[in-house]
Amino acid sequence: MDPTSFVLFGATGDLAKRKIYPALYNLFIDHKLPESFSIIGLGRRTLSDEEFHKHVEQSLITFSRRSANDPSRLNAFLQAFRYRTLDVNHVEDYRKLLELVQRREKELNIRENRMFYLSVAPEFFGVIASNINESGLGSTDGWKRLIIEKPFGRDLESARYLNEQLSSSFEEHEIYRIDHYLGKPMIQNLEILESSNPILKALWSNHYIANVQITASETVGVEERAGYYDHAGAIRDMFQNHMLQILMMFSMQLPKKCDAHEVRFKKRKVMESLRLLQKEDISHHIVRGQYTAGEIEGKHVPGYTQEPGVAEFSTNDTFIAARLWIDDFFWSDVPFYIRTGKRMKEKSTRIVVEFKEPLGGSSDQTKARNLLVIDINPNEGIFIQLNRKDPLQDGKLEPIRIHYSDSEKNAPEAYETLIFDAIRGDSTFFVHWDEVELSWKWVQPILDAFEEDRIPLQAYPAGSNGPAASDQLLEADGYTWWLDS
Annotated binding site for NADP(+): 10-17, 44, 87-88, 150
Q: Per CB under 6 A, does 15 bind ligand NAD?
A: yes
**Binding site as annotated, residues:** 10-17, 44, 87-88, 150, 180, 184, 218, 237, 342, 347
Question: How many Cα neighbours within 13 Å face the side chain of 112?
Answer: 14
In the complex, residue closest to ligand NAD by CB: 13
Q: Considering beta carbons, is residue 84 or 267 the nearer one to ligand NAD?
A: 84
Shortest reach from residue 204's CB to ligand NAD, in Å: 31
Task: Please report how close the Cβ of residue 227 comes to ligand NAD at its closest, in angstroms.
Answer: 10
14 binds ligand NAD (CB under 6 A): yes
Tell the smallest beta-carbon distance from residue 33 to ligand NAD (Å). Answer: 22
The answer to whether residues 159 and 150 touch, using CB atoms and an 8 Å cutoff, is no
Q: Is 43 in the site for ligand NAD (CB under 6 A)?
A: yes
**126 belongs to the binding site for ligand NAD (CB under 6 A):** no
The CA distance from 360 to 438, in Å, is 40
C-alpha to C-alpha distance for 36 and 11, rounded to whole angstroms: 20
**Catalytic residue from among 242, 261, 285, 403:** 242
Q: Which of 7, 11, 182, 443 binds ligand NAD (CB under 6 A)?
A: 11
User: CA 120 to CA 126: how far, in whole Å?
Assistant: 11
Site size for ligand NAD, by CB under 6 A? 19
Does 446 help bind ligand NAD (rule: CB under 6 A)? no
Nearest-angstrom CA–CA distance, 440 and 291 = 25
Closest CA to 114 of 103, 125, 126, 101: 101
Task: Identify residues 105-124 at the interface with ligand NAD (CB under 6 A).
Answer: 119-122
The least CB distance from residue 357 to ligand NAD, in Å, is 41
Q: How far is the CB of 353 from ligand NAD (least distance, A)?
A: 28
**H helix runs in 333-429, sequence order:** 414-424
In angstroms, the CA 152 to CA 149 distance is 8
Binding of residue 317 to ligand NAD (CB under 6 A): no
273: Cα within 13 Å, side-chain hemisphere? 22
The CA distance from 113 to 359, in Å, is: 59
Q: Which H or E run contains 246?
A: helix 244-251
Alpha-carbon span 477 to 410, nearest angstrom: 41
**What is the amino acid identity at position 216?**
A
44 is a site residue for ligand NAD (CB under 6 A): yes
Does 183 interact with ligand NAD (rule: CB under 6 A)? Answer: no
Question: Quick one: which of 66, 84, 150, 177 contacts ligand NAD (CB under 6 A)?
Answer: 150
Report the DSSP pairing between strands 335-341 and 209-217: parallel
Verify binding: residue 218, ligand NAD, rule CB under 6 A.
no
Nearer to ligand NAD, 3 or 151 (CB): 151
Q: What are phi and psi of 403, to 5 degrees?
A: -110, 145
Q: How far is the CB of 42 from ligand NAD (least distance, A)?
A: 6
CB-based contact 40:73 (threshold 8 Å): no
13 binds ligand NAD (CB under 6 A): yes
Q: According to CB under 6 A, which residues from 62 to 101 bind ligand NAD?
A: 86-88
Instruction: Using the minimum distance from each CB to ligand NAD, give the nearer residue, 86 or 210.
Output: 86
Q: Which stretch binds ligand NAD (CB under 6 A): 11-19, 109-117, 190-198, 353-361?
A: 11-19
**CA–CA distances in Å: residue 452 to residues 78, 86, 193, 230:** 52, 41, 42, 17
Specify the 3-state DSSP secondary structure of 70.
coil
Binding-site members for substrate are 180, 184, 218, 237, 342, 347
181 in Cβ contact with 450 (< 8 Å): no
**Residue 3 binds ligand NAD, judged by CB under 6 A:** no
Q: Is 71 exposed, middle or buried (0-12, 13-18, 19+ CB in 10 A)?
A: exposed
Neighbours of 470 (CB within 10 A): 25
- Segment interacting with ligand NAD, rule: CB under 6 A, options 39-47, 56-64, 107-115, 348-356: 39-47
Shortest Å, Cβ 131 to ligand NAD: 11
Note if 285 is an active site residue. no
Please report, as ranges, the residues that interact with ligand NAD according to CB under 6 A. 10-16, 43-45, 86-88, 119-122, 149-150
What amino acid positions are annotated as catalytic residues? 242
